[in-house]
């Protein structure tokens, strides 16, 4: 259940992502300077001897002097990889890297993937048990049943760190949270509910165990496998774990078992449940059809016979997604932070209760807005479990787990200040990625028509097809239809619905576009024939004309021409509308922070008023992406030392903002980049500076320095660049860099679509 969302991707796209640049999805980056010989002497020999001796004398100090307390090993032998089966240890490595990425993305935990090449249970156990000193926790993954039960039990006995098989307990915790709320909204109690479970593997057994720990009576759960009901006295195709859930019943098939049942929990295979079976259940049935990627029965088929049913699946394109990413990153976070020796039943229950409680609270406006009206995020039948990108998860689940660990005596470093811990959790994650995901979700809710001016480029075609397939809207390609169709065929990519292709030579609107363009440009030295040529032969002009005349909602270009050329083409058709004018914002996402740099694309040397307006608009972008803006007007000087001409406009911009009164964000300048980004340095040398933390919005004195800085940062290790994002055109337009990938084009198209109402 680990998929963050159900997005259609081709094998070619996935292979390209994993292979491009540095192969794979992970790298190790040092956290201490290693520049000089002295740095190396401190970090390694002879300096490293000091922490070694300290740890030898007091083993608990390993958490003070090493990264052990924030490292989780993701370990598998590849015998039960979701959707792929027993593919072996080596082939499972991309999945384990992916799991490590999720730990980092959602809980700021460093995951290290380890693929153990054995299917021998004892050999696997011995391999893992001796790795204990290296890690703060062990995440077992994709190991087939029943071996996974033995492995986890033995390792929990042998190791003094949390050992957690997510396929079992992660699924169980999320499903239990959903079940508690589903029972509540249908007016049932867990003590009286009749539950039928189809599936008897690792996840199913764990779900059954956790449900019973919440009060579900043994006799009220009927488990089924591929051979039918697991009943008392059955001897064939049984094991100890199934036998623990055998009940006295006359039912022998899934169909028999579902008659008069309140709840169906599916952890099995597509299509094994029919509408007739759902009809035989009690009124207001609860149906958790969690087979991935296709559920045991579709929500539509359930609703066709039981409109009042509460339905959950493993998919993001339906309400109530049972997704493990809601659990395991945060459970490990809480366990690591109190140095828990294990993850026990009480900690699992605490995580499930915290998830269930969170779903009953009012959803923040920004989360609700992202998912739109189609997904009513209000506690009830269609919202019994939080959505994966709810920012409250990082504070609620780890705290609940940590408290349960303390209450049960397995925490070796109890929390002393819960409010401070909440603040620490909140600070662990940069909100940018969450807000961007919500932005993408918002566009899915309100799809737009986006015109891709360079429709014949392979990257554009790939991006347009992905844009459509992922539900962001309707792509319109500008170019020669025969060429585009041929290239689509060569890529072996097909559209779910026909892709619109526009060619100026064939467009019925060309005369309208030409007349409007001539009226606009005739006093700027353009003749009628110039405008005819622009509309007929310049695809940027055609795409921009479509935008102005309502044939599209947004536009993307830039792959085949320089930024300056594309910008000039678009400016011939579309004006700017903001006090800041048109400017480019580069968003730099890096370890621990996001920086917003402006203007990195358009204005050569903005005057002071222009800098002030750009700062206001850029701060607005920072707020939209979840940040409290702290604006630094940069220059080569800091508060007049040394005096530099490039600082004059920055100083004046600060004065102009002062005259406005309250602008809603912190700002100061002029200052050097070193001072802006190094808060201790700022406070030590310039205690009068108004910023209360390191700057995250950097207003550059001119385009030249902005582009140099942004390009240097973009090629630094661990930095992800979005942009430059254009702001200020009358209509949403994004101009890409010529080296942009198909993924960059999709992102630009989504940003442009979001700007329609953003």
Question: Angle 510-521/539-548 helices, nearest 10 degrees?
Answer: 90
Place of tokens 């004006």: 575
* Total residues belonging to the chain: 758
pLDDT at 757 over 80: no
User: Does residue 534 sit within a domain?
Assistant: yes
Which of 93, 99, 259, 518 is catalytic? The answer is: 99
21 versus 673: the higher-pLDDT residue is 673
Residue 536 CA, chain-centre distance (Å), reads 41
Query: What does the mean pLDDT of the chain come to?
Result: 90
pLDDT at 408 over 80: yes
431 versus 155: the higher-pLDDT residue is 155
Q: Where are the beta strands (DSSP E) in 148-187?
A: 163-165
DSSP secondary structure of 63-106 = HHHSSGGGEEEEEE-SSSBTTTBS-HHHHTHHHHHHHHHHHHHH
pLDDT at 184 over 90: yes
Task: Find the range with the poorest average confidence among 138-147, 405-414, 738-747.
Answer: 738-747
Q: Where are the beta strands (DSSP E) in 472-591?
A: 473-478, 500-502, 554-557, 583-590
Q: Confirm whether 242 is a catalytic residue.
A: no
User: pLDDT tens for residues 133-169?
Assistant: 999 999 999 999 899 999 999 999 999 999 999 989 9
| pLDDT for residue 509 | 84
Residues 590 and 566 placed together within one structural domain of the fold: no
- Supply the Cα-derived Rg of the chain in whole angstroms: 29
Which of 25, 44, 242, 318 is catalytic? The answer is: 44
pLDDT band at 413 (very low <50, low <70, confident <90, very high): very high
Residues 521 and 612 placed together within one structural domain of the fold: no
User: Does residue 256 sit within a domain?
Assistant: no
What CATH number is attached to the domain comprising 93? 3.40.50.10380
Q: Please give the C-alpha separations between residue 383 and each of 355, 362, 380, 395, in angstroms, as whole numbers.
A: 12, 11, 5, 20
CA distance 360 to 325: 19
User: pLDDT tens for residues 618-646?
Assistant: 999 998 888 899 999 999 889 987 776 66
| pLDDT for residue 5 | 45
User: Does residue 156 sit within a domain?
Assistant: yes
User: pLDDT tens for residues 217-265?
Assistant: 999 999 999 999 999 999 999 999 999 999 999 999 999 999 999 999 9
Residues 531 and 601 placed together within one structural domain of the fold: no
Q: Confirm whether 492 is a catalytic residue.
A: no
Expressed as residue numbers, the domain containing 99 is 11-167
What CATH number is attached to the domain comprising 686? 3.40.50.10750
User: pLDDT tens for residues 305-360?
Assistant: 999 999 999 988 889 999 999 999 999 999 999 999 999 999 999 999 999 999 99
pLDDT band at 493 (very low <50, low <70, confident <90, very high): low
Task: Find the range with the poorest average confidence among 12-26, 57-71, 123-137.
Answer: 12-26
| pLDDT for residue 377 | 81
Residues 48 and 81 placed together within one structural domain of the fold: yes
What CATH number is attached to the domain comprising 567? 3.40.50.10950
Residues 41 and 163 placed together within one structural domain of the fold: yes
Helix (H, G, I), strand (E, B) or coil at 334: helix
Domain-terminating residue out of 549, 571, 593: 571
User: Does residue 428 sit within a domain?
Assistant: no
Residues 687 and 557 placed together within one structural domain of the fold: no
Instruction: Give the other-Cβ count within 10 Å of 757's Cβ.
Output: 11
User: Does residue 511 sit within a domain?
Assistant: yes
- Across the range 565-578, mean pLDDT stands at 90
- Torsion, Cα 674 675 680 685, to 10 degrees, reads 130
pLDDT band at 4 (very low <50, low <70, confident <90, very high): very low
User: pLDDT tens for residues 51-64?
Assistant: 999 999 999 999 99
| pLDDT for residue 283 | 96
| pLDDT for residue 743 | 84
| pLDDT for residue 717 | 66
| pLDDT for residue 630 | 96
Domain-terminating residue out of 167, 182, 208: 167
- Across the range 464-487, mean pLDDT stands at 89
pLDDT at 444 over 50: yes
Residues 94 and 40 placed together within one structural domain of the fold: yes
User: Does residue 254 sit within a domain?
Assistant: no
Residues 566 and 587 placed together within one structural domain of the fold: no
Domain-terminating residue out of 103, 133, 167: 167
Helix, strand, coil tally for the chain in percent (to 5): 45, 15, 40
CA distance 730 to 751: 15
What is the sign of the dihedral through the CA atoms of 528, 529, 532 and 537? Answer: negative
Percentage of residues in the chain having pLDDT higher than 70: 95
Number of structural domains the chain divides into: 3
Residues 142 and 19 placed together within one structural domain of the fold: yes
How much is the pTM?
Answer: 0.77
pLDDT at 568 over 90: yes
CB 472 within 8 A of CB 447: yes
User: Does residue 384 sit within a domain?
Assistant: no
Structure-token pair, residue 309: 């049913």
Percentage of residues in the chain having pLDDT higher than 90: 68
111-144 in b/e form (b: 16+ CB < 10 A) is bbbbbbeebebeebbebbeebbeebbbbbbbbbb
Residues 555 and 588 placed together within one structural domain of the fold: no
Residues 555 and 609 placed together within one structural domain of the fold: no
Highest mean pLDDT among 16-20, 187-191, 670-674: 187-191
| pLDDT for residue 371 | 63
CB 141 within 8 A of CB 84: no
Residues 598 and 709 placed together within one structural domain of the fold: yes
185 Cβ neighbours under 8 A, 6+ residues apart: 310, 379, 380, 381, 384
User: Does residue 423 sit within a domain?
Assistant: no
CA distance 356 to 333: 19
């Amino acid at each position: 259940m680990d998929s963050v969302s159900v997005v259609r991707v081709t094998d070619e796209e996935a292979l390209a992502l994993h292979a491009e640049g540095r192969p794979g999805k992970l790298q190790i980056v040092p956290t201490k300077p290693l520049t000089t010989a002295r740095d190396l002497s401190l970090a390694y020999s002879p300096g490293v001897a000091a922490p070694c001796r300290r740890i030898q004398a007091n083993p608990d100090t390993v958490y003070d002097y090493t990264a052990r307390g924030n490292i989780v090993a993701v370990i598998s032998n590849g015998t039960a990889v979701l959707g792929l089966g027993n593919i072996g240890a080596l082939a499972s490595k991309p999945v384990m890297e992916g799991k490590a990425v999720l730990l980092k993305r959602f809980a700021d935990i460093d995951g290290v993937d380890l693929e153990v090449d054995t299917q021998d249970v004892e050999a696997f156990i011995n391999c893992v048990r001796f790795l204990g000193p290296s890690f703060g926790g062990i995440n077992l993954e994709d190991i087939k049943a029943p071996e996974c039960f033995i492995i986890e039990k033995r390792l929990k006995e042998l190791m003094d760190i949390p050992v957690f098989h997510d396929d079992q307990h992660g699924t169980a915790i999320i499903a239990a949270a959903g079940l508690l709320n589903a029972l509540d909204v249908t007016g049932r109690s867990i003590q009286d509910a009749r539950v039928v479970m189809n599936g008897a593997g690792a996840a199913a057994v764990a779900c059954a165990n956790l449900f019973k720990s919440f009060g579900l009576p043994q006799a009220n759960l009927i488990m089924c496998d591929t051979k039918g009901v697991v009943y008392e006295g059955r001897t064939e195709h049984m094991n100890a774990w199934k036998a623990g859930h055998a009940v006295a019943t006359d039912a022998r098939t899934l169909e028999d078992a579902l008659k008069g049942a309140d709840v169906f929990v599916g952890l099995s295979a597509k299509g094994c449940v029919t509408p007739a079976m759902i009809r035989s259940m009690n009124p207001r049935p609860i149906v958790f059809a969690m087979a991935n990627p296709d559920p045991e029965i579709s929500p539509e088929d359930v609703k066709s016979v039981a409109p009042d049913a509460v339905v959950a699946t493993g998919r993001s394109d339906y309400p109530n997604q049972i997704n493990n990413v809601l659990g395991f990153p945060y459970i490990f976070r809480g366990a690591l932070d109190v140095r828990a020796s294990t993850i026990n039943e009480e900690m699992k229950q605490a995580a499930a209760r915290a998830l269930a409680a969170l779903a009953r609270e009012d959803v923040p406006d920004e989360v609700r807005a992202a998912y739109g009206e189609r997904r009513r995020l209000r506690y009830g039948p269609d919202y019994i479990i939080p959505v994966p990108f709810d920012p409250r998860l990082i504070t609620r689940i780890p705290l609940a787990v940590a408290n349960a660990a303390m209450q049960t005596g397995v925490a070796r470093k109890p929390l002393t200040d819960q409010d401070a811990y909440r603040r620490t959790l909140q600070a662990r994650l940069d909100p940018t990625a969450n807000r961007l995901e919500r932005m993408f979700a918002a566009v899915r809710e309100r799809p737009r028509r986006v015109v891709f001016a360079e429709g014949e480029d392979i990257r554009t075609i790939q991006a347009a097809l992905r844009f459509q397939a992922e539900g962001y809207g309707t792509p319109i390609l500008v170019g020669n239809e025969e060429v585009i169709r041929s290239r689509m065929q060569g890529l072996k990519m097909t559209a779910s619905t026909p892709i619109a292709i526009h060619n100026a030579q064939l467009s019925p609107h060309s005369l309208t576009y030409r007349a409007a363009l001539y009226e606009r440009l005739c006093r700027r030295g353009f003749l009628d024939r110039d405008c005819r040529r622009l509309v007929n032969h310049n695809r940027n002009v055609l795409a921009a004309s479509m935008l102005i005349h309502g044939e599209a909602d947004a536009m993307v270009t830039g792959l085949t021409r320089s930024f300056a050329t594309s910008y000039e083409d678009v400016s011939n058709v579309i004006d700017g509308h903001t006090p800041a004018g048109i400017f480019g914002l580069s968003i730099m996402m890096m370890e621990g922070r996001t920086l917003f740099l402006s203007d990195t694309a358009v204005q050569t040397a903005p005057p002071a008023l222009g800098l002030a307006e750009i700062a206001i608009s850029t701060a607005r972008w920072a707020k939209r992406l979840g940040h409290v803006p702290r604006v630094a007007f940069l220059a080569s000087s800091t508060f007049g030392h040394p005096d530099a001409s490039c600082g004059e406009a920055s100083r004046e911009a600060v004065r102009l903002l002062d005259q406005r009164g309250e602008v809603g964000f912190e700002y100061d300048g002029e200052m050097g980049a070193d001072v802006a980004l190094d808060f201790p340095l700022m406070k030590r040398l310039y205690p009068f500076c108004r910023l209360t933390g390191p700057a995250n919005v950097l207003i550059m004195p001119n385009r030249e320095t902005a582009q140099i800085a942004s390009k240097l940062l973009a090629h630094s290790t661990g930095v992800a660049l979005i942009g430059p994002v254009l702001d200020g055109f009358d209509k949403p337009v994004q101009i890409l860099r010529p080296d942009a990938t198909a993924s960059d084009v999709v992102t630009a198209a989504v940003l442009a679509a979001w700007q329609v109402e953003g």
